[in-house]
Amino acid sequence: MIPFLDLKAPHVELHDEVMEAIGRVVSSGWYVLGPEVDAFEADYAAYCEASHCVGMANGLDALHLALRAMGVGHGDEVIVPSNTYIATWLAVSQCGATPVAVEPVEATYNMDPGKIEAAITPRTKVILPVHLYGQPADIDPILDIARRHGLRVLEDGAQSHGARYKGRRIGSHGDAVAWSFYPGKNLGALGDAGAVTTDDSVLADRIRVLRNYGSRVKYVNEVQGYNSRLDPIQAAVLRVKLKHLDSWNSRRETIAGNYLHGLKDSGLILPVVPSWAQPAWHLFVVRSARRDELQAQLTSAGIGTLIHYPIPPHLQKAYETEGGAGVGHPIAERMAKEVISLPIGPHLSSAQTCRVIDGVLLHA
């Protein structure tokens, strides 16, 4: 069996370091925020080439509180991709605002900058691109549009830890980047965790206050905040794993290279990497008109695959009654029917990679 992703392997590899980190928190007597969270925030900000990092409870909260800190509220609109994980949309809805979907560029799966301006209205506050599958979105034209229209840019970095756009690490191109450290991400915790990185000290400060009950000084509450603090045990584990992220990402890059080479004549639509992009290869997504057959055949060959994502947000029951949900997004809808994610991860061996390629070629 080749699993889609081996979640246990990194913790077997780093067992002693991870246990030592957890033990340090257990014996510290400090179980909410504190030195371990501060240290991870400093490490991750430096890694992302950003001035500030605020640790949060999960990626959805990171998106939600970053939007709140940007002043998004009831009646506002936020431009989101039509093809993304539903968290991107939910964060907007949780502010009382409306997600307005823009379709992706077919080749890269990322938000099409050429379609953004048509979606801007007097209510638009923020553009929220996602670096989907670990491929950086084309952020410069998006920043340009935002500047011209007086909008903020929040990036959803949940799949792009370590990716680079035009040589610079994802982390502070836009006004802020929201991160998830859900276990299956390139940098994953042993449970839920998230963060926001930004160069904007005012935004960082607002998010810090929002995540901690709207409080800066204990029992003094300046706004109606939330409880969304990064857990110190997760922070300690993330500090250990962060040191290995670059080597794990480069292993992913090797696997992606093998797939791109091995599957070039397969007839499948393969990922396209623009010259300015250095992806984090969170997922290796291919497209086939006979996707369901391919998945069934790989499953019977013992090869794990997943669909990211089978139902676009606007077709979810959760968005049935929302404005904009009645509008079709044909590119996202077609992608949902055709995409399939092959196994990729730092602990997938070369032999396993070859078996996946053979399995796909046999049935393509």
The residue ranges that bind ligand PLP (CB under 6 A) are: 58-60, 84-85, 87-88, 130, 156, 158-159, 180, 182, 192, 194
Partner residues linked to 81 by β-bridges: 102
Q: Rounded to an integer, what distance in angstroms lies between the CA atom of residue 97 and that of residue 74?
A: 5
Q: How far is the CB of 186 from ligand PLP (least distance, A)?
A: 11
Closest by alpha carbon to 242, among 2, 34, 38, 48? Answer: 48
Residue where the block lists tokens 């029951």 = 317
Q: Rounded to an integer, what distance in angstroms lies between the CA atom of residue 294 and that of residue 66?
A: 39
Cis peptide before 309 (omega within 30 of 0): yes
Residue 153 or 360: the one with the smaller Cβ distance to ligand PLP is 153
Residue 4 or 262: the one with the smaller Cβ distance to ligand PLP is 4
Q: How open is the CA angle 240-156-325, to the nearest 5 degrees?
A: 145
Cα 144 to Cα 93, 114, 132, 152, 174: the distances in Å are: 25, 12, 20, 11, 10
Residue 84 or 295: the one with the smaller Cβ distance to ligand PLP is 84
Q: How far is the CB of 54 from ligand PLP (least distance, A)?
A: 14
Q: Which residue is nearest to ligand PLP (CB)?
A: 59
Q: How far is the CB of 148 from ligand PLP (least distance, A)?
A: 26
Q: What is the DSSP letter of 2?
A: B
Q: How far is the CB of 214 from ligand PLP (least distance, A)?
A: 21
CA quadruple 13, 157, 275, 356: dihedral, nearest 10: 40
Q: How far is the CB of 93 from ligand PLP (least distance, A)?
A: 13
Q: How far is the CB of 16 from ligand PLP (least distance, A)?
A: 27
Q: How far is the CB of 27 from ligand PLP (least distance, A)?
A: 28
Q: Residue 77 has which token pair?
A: 């609109």
Residue 177 or 263: the one with the smaller Cβ distance to ligand PLP is 177
Residue 87 or 153: the one with the smaller Cβ distance to ligand PLP is 87
Residue 87 or 145: the one with the smaller Cβ distance to ligand PLP is 87
Residue 110 or 180: the one with the smaller Cβ distance to ligand PLP is 180
Answer yes or no: are the C-beta atoms of 185 and 156 closer than 8 Å.
no
Q: Rounded to an integer, what distance in angstroms lies between the CA atom of residue 235 and that of residue 35?
A: 10
Q: Rounded to an integer, what distance in angstroms lies between the CA atom of residue 223 and that of residue 226?
A: 9
